Amino acid sequence: MLAVLAPATLSAAPFAAYVMDARTGQPIYKQNADTRLHPASLTKMMTLYLAFTAVERGQVRLDSQFTISSNAAAEPPSKLGLRAGQKIELRYLLRAAAIKSANDAATAIGEGLAGSEAAFGQQMTAMARALGMQNTQFRNANGLTQDGHFSTAHDMTILGRHLFYDFPQYYNLFSRRSADAGISKVSSTNKRFLDGYSGADGIKTGYTRAAGFNLTASAQRGNKRLIATVFGGTSTAQRNQVMGELLDSSFTRIPDRVRETRPSPPRFAAQQKIVRRAQVAPTVAATAPEPQQLVLSASEPPARVRRPTASTAAIAVADPLAEAVRQATRAPITAKSLNLAASTRPPLRPLAQRAAVADALATAVAAAESATPSAQSPSLAAPVLEASDRPVPAPRSRTGNGQASTAAVAQPDSGQADAVAQAVAEASAESAGTMSLLASPAPKPRSETVILAAMGEGDISEPAALEIVSRPSGSGRSWGIALGRFGSQVEAEKLLLRTALQDGTALEGADRRIADTARGFEAAFVNLSKADAHLACERLKARSQECRVTGP
């Protein structure tokens, strides 16, 4: 290892290296890992990370048109060759920045997302802090040398791990050898390392005179995956050789199986809210004491008016009759009546209730005959009500003249009884209109028998047989989309799951299906309508995903 790293000390740029177990984030090897150096085009890793974030959040789309500014068009090589005022889709800018490391494409991405390259640099630095990159500060989107623009081998390795885990759907950009960038076809600057090291699948190269030859690489062997960064290489070949030696030695130092720990999502620092208080000079109106005010909640609430019910209406109707009885038969409270009221009486039988009420009335009337008018009782109904279990049945009269009820009440033959009967008759006559409801007979109970229909002799035949018509549940949804064939069932399942999460609206109700064919495992979505199948396939093709619509 020392023999390989020795030439790096001869370069103008300091050498730094960091190797991490991608599955756990644990360091395997580090040298000057936290030294702040020029990252060069490794900066474009953060530019692409923010672009992927904006696409996933719905702020932009891959087919969004970005207008090229004169600042972006004037960037030095490596560049795509964009012209000022030209419009190009975001997908082509991403390919040019990731594969060719085009400076003009990276600047166009930053200006299109943030409005200016300076504002985008602030967003890049804020995201670096959220990802845990404590020794990184960005000033531009392409990585050209600028004061205050620096990073470390440790921080760039952290960023490479987040690219791998946070955006697996876009990670394949870093392993492509070439791609269509809209106006031309671009080739990868990392092609030599991808072809020369077994298991390598990314990520990004970088070079300036101040930085030297930099590389952040990712490689996999079996269940093991490493991510490493090298700063300050003397040449492309020497840098790739050092990276290969670092990865080879680190693969032998990590276990084959380990519990995978994914990186935490970005944690943005909470921004403090600035509260501005207005300075207002005091005025007479503002400082004067408030006059006494009447508080509505302190007053008593108004009495609630209760609506009359059927029971209260019946009592109001019976009041004139009771008042007439009291006025006509005022009797003094004698010892006999007091004893009657105070004694405990056994419950009366239902058949003898009416006779008991009549006897109580006769007794009260007889007591009233021998008493003086000045000592009459203020209430005749009190001893009667206390002695009885139920009130006297209301008088019934079809004609409304009250004669039947008068005869029932005036059973004694004395003169006082005649007065009571006369008073009752007069009270009944006054309320004849209101007593008609009480005097009317109770309605007959409604029959619970329900007659549905009358059936004749012709209705006794057997009912006609019902014809049951069934349709398949997936009627009209016999279309599907095929996403290609894969070497293993796990790869096919991962693609189907990732596609279902990204296009949940178009693929709603679709079923995932994996067919084991002679050429591999074919992943497909079935049970789609024709319109949904074409829509989902167009969206997948827009993301450079192979797709084919299958019909019934």
Q: What is the mean pLDDT of residues 42-50?
A: 97
- The answer as to whether 311 is a domain residue is no
- Please give the residue that has the higher pLDDT: either 182 or 298: 182
What confidence score (pLDDT) does residue 4 get?
45
Confidence grade of residue 157 (pLDDT, cut at 50, 70, 90):
very high
Model pLDDT for residues 390-446, shown as the tens digit of each residue: 655 555 544 444 443 444 333 444 555 565 556 555 655 554 444 445 556 666 666
Residue 247 pLDDT greater than 50, yes or no: yes
Catalytic residue among 69, 100, 101, 428: 101
**Whether residue 493 sits in one domain with residue 421:** no
Query: Is there a single domain that holds both residue 157 and residue 60?
Result: yes
Structural domain includes residue 32: yes
Judged on CB neighbours under 10 Å (0-12, 13-18, 19+), 153 is buried
pTM: 0.51
Same domain, 397 and 525: no
| Confidence band for 502, pLDDT divided at 50, 70 and 90 | confident
Give pLDDT, residue 543.
82
Same domain, 398 and 517: no
Structural domain includes residue 464: no
For the ranges 15-29, 264-278, 361-375, 523-537, the maximum mean pLDDT occurs at 15-29
Cβ contact 421:410 at 8 Å: yes
Percentage of residues of the chain with pLDDT beyond 90: 46
**213-222: average pLDDT:** 96
The whole-number pLDDT of residue 317 equals: 44
**Active-site pick, 44, 100, 204, 224:** 44
Question: In this structure, is residue 221 part of a structural domain?
Answer: yes
CA angle, 423 then 426 then 429, to 5°: 150
Nearest in space to 177 (alpha carbons), one of 149, 199, 201: 201
Query: Do the Cβ atoms of 511 and 479 come closer than 8 Å?
Result: no
Dist CA 524 CA 155 (whole Å): 40
Q: Tell whether 418 and 503 lie within a shared domain.
A: no
- Please calculate the CA angle 144-91-520 and round it to the nearest 5 degrees: 120
pLDDT band at 206 (very low <50, low <70, confident <90, very high): very high
Q: Mark whether 101 is an active-site residue.
A: yes
* Residue 422, domain member (yes or no): yes
Residue 56's contacts (CB-CB under 8 Å, 6 or more residues apart) are 167
pLDDT tier at 478, thresholds 50, 70, 90: confident
111-125 residue pLDDT tens: 999 999 999 999 999
Q: How far apart are CA 49 and CA 46, in angstroms?
A: 5
Average pLDDT value for the chain: 77
* Annotated catalytic residue 175: no
Per-residue model confidence (pLDDT) at position 330: 57
If you write DSSP's letter for every residue of 149-218 in order, what string do you get? -BB-HHHHHHHHHHHHHH-TTTGGGGG-SEEE-SSSEEE-TTHHHHHHSTTEEEEEEEEETTTEEEEEEE
DSSP collapsed to 3 states, 113-159: HHCCHHHHHHHHHHHHHHHCCCCCECCCCCCCCCCCCEECHHHHHHH
Q: Among 200, 223, 251, identify where a domain stops.
A: 251
Q: To the nearest 10°, the Cα dihedral for 387, 390, 395, 396?
A: -160
Q: Mean pLDDT, to the nearest integer, of 461-482? A: 59
Closest of 246, 244, 156, 263 to residue 200, by C-alpha: 244
Report the pLDDT averaged over residues 2-12.
45
Q: Hey, CA dihedral for 353, 354, 355, 360, is it positive or negative?
A: positive
158 and 10, same structural domain? yes
Let me know whether 76 and 153 are in one domain: yes
Q: Would you state the pLDDT for residue 91?
A: 96
Neighbours of 212 (CB within 10 A): 26
Are 133 and 159 in contact by the 8 Å Cβ rule? The answer is yes
Contact 470, 535 (CB under 8 A): no
Residue 514 lies in a domain: yes
413 and 531 in a single domain? The answer is: no
In this structure, the answer to whether residues 408 and 510 fall within a common structural domain is: no
Domain containing 425 equals 392-430
Residue 225 lies inside a defined structural domain of this protein: yes
Q: What is the mean pLDDT of residues 52-81?
A: 95
In sequence order, which residues have a C-beta less than 8 Å from that of residue 60 and are 6 or more positions away? 51, 54, 90, 112, 113
Q: Among 120-134, 209-223, 402-416, which is the least confidently predicted range?
A: 402-416
Average pLDDT estimate for 491-497 = 86
Residue that is written with structure tokens 């719905």 in the block: 58
Catalytic-residue membership of 44: yes
Does residue 537 sit in the same domain as residue 424?
Answer: no
Q: Domain count of the chain?
A: 3
462 confidence band (pLDDT: 50, 70, 90)? low
546/398 same-domain check? no
Q: What is the CATH number of the domain that holds 522?
A: 3.30.70.1070
Average pLDDT over residues 23-38: 96
Identify whether residues 525 and 404 lie together within a single domain: no
pLDDT at residue 148 is higher than 50: yes
CATH of the domain at 105: 3.40.710.10
Is 111 a member of any domain?
yes
- Token digits for 513? 């299906």
